[in-house]
A and B are shown apart, each in its own frame.
Chain A
């Protein structure tokens, strides 16, 4: 993986309070979700990544260069802050254009890029409206527009979906996924698990200022071997299936759902379980209707890790 962002033992403290505690990780192209509850240290980490704060300890680099007071890096980086703050007297187009001018673009380019950015976030019709009169969702989108307008290689988005209506949320998720697929490095934070899950399976789990896990959600799940993996099975004969499955040493519990003709079991070795299940059901002529794992949901992974 090409490493764009690299943190080595990074800590940040404010007086006696540790906000980020010796975190080490690296991020490459694609969408990476920074996940954690409120107060976990996500925003501090984002501020460190964007050079708004200086690490108290450790090394944080972008493309191999230190970030603090290294302003040329901002040609390649865009940031969508969490806070809902603007120059309210400006229109959406004026806001994006004013910030674009600081990148050294010519007036023609500024106008073209402003139009393009507003189009990307569906704000063309509201371009000449004062930001002070924007709805919360529109304000979120104009923040996103200023972050992408200069076409950066790295995008850092702090809670970008907060306050958006479902349609805008869906559109923004799609937009972020497109950026990721286009090879951009997108780091997006959220405390809402399904939001991150809809954007990416590549996550950084942060809690109490520490990175608890890093990587694909399924890989992370594999790391938690002390927690059995939940598997939901709906089939023609759940009781008979349970009788057969309980004989396997990795299966530690089975729970029935009579109303839906299903069962949920816990396995300590899910890979092995998945490989032998089809043959077993076939041999005993039990029709499999549905098999899912609630643990593939980030909520479950997060729940396990923080506990």
Chain B
């Protein structure tokens, strides 16, 4: 088998696995939950818009402030984490629970191709469900007669989309690793996302760099309470370093997930 043929076949295998996974991932009960979260975020945007339009609260709120709060609390720290946690941990563990992993493992494709194919499906599904929520929230908050703020902050929206994408990649890879490795990955993922990251981000010293959220907060274009509090105890990582670290983390988590899938014996209960 020549190198070029092997690459072409590898890519085709990953695509086939991704299509196969997309169907099971998208048409699952999890999607109902994710759509619900998305609607809650959009509902919050609508509420913010009503507050801004009708001056329900006598406070100097701007669309930028509402959007920033929405992004930092609802999208990055909640929606992205939950979407990647539920879908990422399900990639392998649901095939094990459903006992369908056998069908994939007994095909002439390397196990890492299965992992990468499934990860691609996860990224695609997450992007499809999360990014429109970000864009629609922006539209809800900014679309008005005076379009100057809309165009002025369009760059911020672009950055937010990029950061959400990076967060989906990194969290997705991490939770995929947990799903391939552990028997109860959701619990471990919840402990990581809301225990470890929640505590360590606010600790001084190097340990905060052992979280995904630190690098996301470092490049986050909005000022928000959690990030500001966290940055009190330490410096932000420079943007190029933060971006490359997030990409490196993604690659490492994904490589580890591939290795686990390759070496682990999955005993499908009869």
Contacts and interface: CB of A to CB of B under 8 A. Distances in A.
Interface in A143-174: 146
Contact of A74 (B12, B98, B108, B270): B108
A71 B12 CA distance: 16
Contacts of B98: 85
Contacts of B12: 101, 104
Interface in A38-96: 43, 50-54, 69, 71-75, 77-79, 81-83, 85-87, 89-90
Given A69-B111, A89-B27, A54 B268 contact: no
Interface in A119-155: 146
A117 B103 CA distance: 16
Contacts of B100: 85-87
A103 B102 contact: no
A282 interface: no
Interface string B110-121: 110000000000
A277 to B, nearest CB: 47
Interface in B216-266: 262-263, 265-266
Interface in B72-119: 98-100, 102-111
B108 A72 contact: yes
Given A53-B265, A85-B99, A98 B106 contact: no
B268 A83 contact: yes
Contact of A102 (B104, B263, B268): B104
A192 interface: no
A55 to B, nearest CB: 11
A99 interface: yes
A284 to B, nearest CB: 57
Nearest to A104: B9
B160 interface: no
A186 to B, nearest CB: 16
Interface in B106-150: 106-111
B23 interface: yes
A53 B270 CA distance: 15
A248 interface: no
Contacts of A43: 270
A5 to B, nearest CB: 15
Contact of A83 (B24, B99, B106): B99
Contacts of A81: 99, 102-103
Contacts of B111: 69, 71
Nearest to B28: A89
B107 A82 contact: no
Which of B99, B107, B266 has the largest number of chain A CB atoms within 10 A? B107
Interface residues of A, number: 31
A295 B58 CA distance: 95
Contacts of A53: 265, 267
A51 B102 CA distance: 10
A57 B9 CA distance: 34
Contacts of B262: 69
B102 A79 contact: yes
B212 interface: no
B107 A102 contact: yes
Interface string A233-268: 000000000000000000000000000000000000
Interface in B1-30: 9, 12-13, 16-17, 19-20, 23-24, 27
Nearest to B27: A89
B16 A102 contact: yes
A98 B21 CA distance: 11
Given A71-B111, A79-B102, A102-B104, A87 B266 contact: no
Nearest to A77: B106
B23 A87 contact: yes
Contact of A71 (B99, B103, B108, B266): B108
B99 A102 contact: no
B7 to A, nearest CB: 13
Contacts of A102: 13, 16-17, 104, 107-109
Contacts of B267: 14, 53
Nearest to B262: A69
A29 B113 CA distance: 32
A52 B105 contact: yes
Given A87-B20, A87-B100, A98-B20, A50 B108 contact: no
Nearest to A53: B265
Interface in B163-206: none
25 contacts: A43-B270, A51-B106, A52-B266, A54-B265, A69-B263, A71-B110, A71-B111, A72-B108, A74-B108, A75-B108, A82-B270, A83-B268, A83-B270, A85-B98, A89-B23, A89-B24, A90-B23, A99-B107, A101-B16, A102-B16, A102-B17, A102-B109, A103-B107, A103-B108, A104-B13
Interface of A: 14, 43, 50-54, 69, 71-75, 77-79, 81-83, 85-87, 89-90, 98-99, 101-104, 146
Given A74-B107, A87-B100, 6 more contacts: A43-B270, A54-B265, A72-B108, A75-B108, A87-B23, A89-B23
Sorted from nearest, which 4 A-B pairs have the closest CB atoms? A85-B99, A102-B107, A74-B108, A83-B99
